[in-house]
Amino acid sequence: MERMSLTIHGNVQGINLRSMIKVKALELGLTGFVTNNSQGTVTVEAEGEKAKLEEILRWFDTNPGGSRVDQVSDQWREASGEFTDFTIKYA
């Protein structure tokens, strides 16, 4: 199990992307959360099998839901096991 932290830049707010990320993460069996911030980025913290984490990372290349993903910054580390579900955190 691994943990991946993502920061997603581009036209990623106001298009229901957080909900789409949650659906995709649950489909892949990932745990963690998604949130956004006032700087216009979306942040994802996800834990699961490395192949599943890599799959959701590649999914952003498709510009899901009409988003325009300009850049995805990723950081990897060992999973902590702190999550039991995948949720949306509202700022």
Active site residues: 18, 36
Query: Whose CA is closest to 87, among 4, 16, 23?
Result: 23
SS3 content of the chain, % helix, strand, coil (to 5): 30, 40, 30
